[in-house]
Structure 1
Amino acid sequence: MNVDLTSPSLNLSADSNEVVNYRRDPKNYITQLFAAQLPAVGTGFFNVYMSQGIMINPHWHTNVDELIVVITGEVMTSVFNPFTQQLMTYRLKPGQVSKFPKGWFHWLVSLTDNTFIMAIFDQPTPDIVYASDFLRFTPKEIMNRAYCVNPEEYAKTVAPITQSVILGPPVDCQSRDIPSVPVQQPQYAPPVYPGLESEQPMFISQDPFGPDPSYRYRFDPNRFW
C-alpha cells in the first residue's frame, strides 16, 4: 500500500492487541495488525496465544510467505515440502523461527502453556485456505471418485466439522465419541550439527504423529522426545 510519508496526518503507530481475529477461549486467541489497522504497514502479522496441546490447524496461503517467531513457550511446526514429498517438522523455543513458503501446507502445535508466537507475512493481506473447509466442502462422491474411499464413511468422518476451525481441537472435543486407536512411534534420524546440537531445532523427516488421523484430538507433547 502506498502511503504519503509527507502527510501531516501520517500515523506510524498502532496497537496489535486491539483487533481480535479469532478466539477459541480466553487463553487461546489471535489478534492482528494489518493495513486496516495501520495503513503505513507494508506487511502484517498475527499475535497467537495458546495453551499446551492447542494447535493452529492445517492450512495454506495462496499469496504470502509466513515466518513464525516464538516469543514465549515452545511449539512444533510442520510444513509439507511439495518438491521432496517430505513433512518438515521443527521444535522451536523462544527466539527461534520457522518459515512456511507460499502455497505450502502447514500447521503448528503448542507444547507448553502460555505460548506466544508471532506469525509475520510478507504481504499486508494474506489469503488463507483452511483444511477444515477443504474437508467439509468436498462432496463425498468426489472423494470416492478421486481416492476410492467409502463415500458414506467419509461423510460420517467429516460431519462434525461444521465451520472453519482455526485453533484446535474444537472446544467440544472431549464430549465427542472418538474411538481410541494406538499411535505408532515414528522412526526418524534428526541431523547432527557438531558443537551445535543444543542450538538446532529438531528436524523430523516424516510425520511425527504417525498414521492415526485422530492425533489432533489427543495430542501428547511428550510422546516424541
Structure 2
Amino acid sequence: MNSYIDYTSPGTQFAFDVNTNPIFKKDPYNYLNLLSVKQLNTLTNLSLLDIFLSIGNVVEPHYHQNAAELVYCISGAAEISLLNPFTKQLLHFNVVPGQVVNLPQGWWHYEIATLDNTHLLAIFDAPVPDVIYGSDILRLTPTNVLAYTYCLDEAKLKDTLAPLTDTVVLGPPNGCSYNPVHAQTAHKQSVNQAPVEHQAANQKYGHHHRIQQY
C-alpha cells in the first residue's frame, strides 16, 4: 500500500539527477546508478537502475524478492537470461535499442553486454528494489553444507570459492584470468569494431531468442 504523500510540503521532491547516485562502480565503463523513493520521495511503487556495461561484462546472477523488473535497452546490445522456475528452462534474449525483457518477481536472471557502450534501464515495481546476488549465496553458505547437500568434494569447493570474498555485482572481477573475452576487451571502447564484436559475443554466449518485431 502506498504511503500518503503531502504534495504541499516544502520537502516534496519532483526531480532528481540519477547520475549523482552510483551504487556500484567497477571501472569508468561499468557501473550502476539507482533511483528509489530514498532519492525521490514522490515515487510510489516505482524505482529504476541505470546500467552501463562494456562488452563481456555481466550483472551477476541474482533475483529481486520484492519486485518484477522490466529491462529496456537504450544503446549497445545485451543478452538477458532468466530461469523459468515452472518449466526449469533457462531462457536467453538478445536485445538491441528499443527492445525489452520482462523479468517476473523472484526469478533468477543476469545480463551480459555483447557490445561496448551498452546502456540498460531496469524499471522495478517497488519503491526500493531488494536484491540477492549469487555471489552472496555462494560465499555465505557454509562450504560444508554445500558439499554435504550436493555430494561435492568440500576441499575442492572451498578452494574454488575462496576468491569470493565480497559481493561481485558486476563481473568478471578485474584481473580475472579465466575469461579471455573479458581480458581482451577490458577498459576498451571499440565503437568502430562493434558489429564484429557483437557477432563474436553472440557466438560465445549463444543467440537463443530473437525479440519479435512488428
Q: TM-score under structure 2 normalisation? A: 0.81
Q: Cα deviations across residues 162-206 of structure 1 (Å, max 9, x unaligned)?
A: 1000000001213xxx499xxxxxxxxxxxxxxxxxxxxxxxxxx
Structure-1 separation of matches of 2:92 and 2:23: 26
Kindly provide the CA deviation profile for residues 74-111 of structure 1, in whole angstroms up to 9, marking residues without a partner as x: 11000101100101110111111111111111101001
Match of 1:154 in 2: 157
Counterpart for residue 144 of structure 1: 147
Equivalent AA in structure 2 for residue 152 of structure 1: A
Q: Which residue of 1 aligns with 2:16?
A: 14
Q: Is the helix fraction higher in 1 or 2?
A: 2
Q: Per-residue displacement from partner, 1:111-149 (whole Å, max 9, x unpaired)?
A: 100000111100011111110011111112111221101
Which residue matches 2:34? Answer: 32
Change (3 A) 1:88 1:121: same
Q: TM-score, normalised by structure 1?
A: 0.77
Q: CA RMSD in A?
A: 1.8
Go from structure 1 to structure 2 and tell me whether the alpha carbon gap of 1:12 and 1:138 turns closer, same or farther (over 3 Å shift).
same
How far did residue 40 of structure 1 move?
0.4
For 1:139 and 1:66, the matched residues in 2 are separated by 30
Q: Which moved more, 1:5-14 or 1:44-53?
A: 5-14
* Residue of structure 2 in register with 1:222 after alignment: 203
Q: What is the DSSP-based 3-state SS (H/G/I as helix, E as strand, rest coil) of the residue aligned with 1:62?
A: coil
- In the comparison of the two structures, how many residue pairs are matched? 184
1:37-61: CA deviations, max 9, x gaps? 1100121111010000101000111
SS at match of 1:154: helix
Cα distance, 1:7 vs structure 2: 3.2
Residue identity opposite 2:24 in structure 1: Y
More displaced 10-residue stretch of structure 1: 10-19 or 74-83: 10-19
What's the CA shift for 1:4?
1.3
C-alpha distance in 2, partners of 1:73/1:2?
Answer: 39
Aligned twin of 1:124: 127
| Corresponding residue SS for 2:60 | strand
How many Å separate the matches in 2 of 1:10 and 1:137?
40
Aligned identity (percent) is 36
Partner residue in 2 for 1:78: 81
Bigger relative contact order (CA 8 A; separation at least 6): 2
* C-alpha deviation, 1:22, in angstroms: 0.2
Amino acid at match of 2:32: I
Is the partner of 1:173 in helix, strand or coil?
coil
1:165 counterpart residue number = 168
SS at match of 1:32: strand
8 A contact 2:12–2:41 mirrored in 1: no
Q: For residue 8 of structure 1, report the CA deviation from its aligned partner.
A: 4.8
**Aligned equivalents of 1:24, 1:161: Cα separation in 2:** 16
Provide structure 2 residue ranges, at least 5 long, that are not aligned to the other structure: 181-199, 208-214
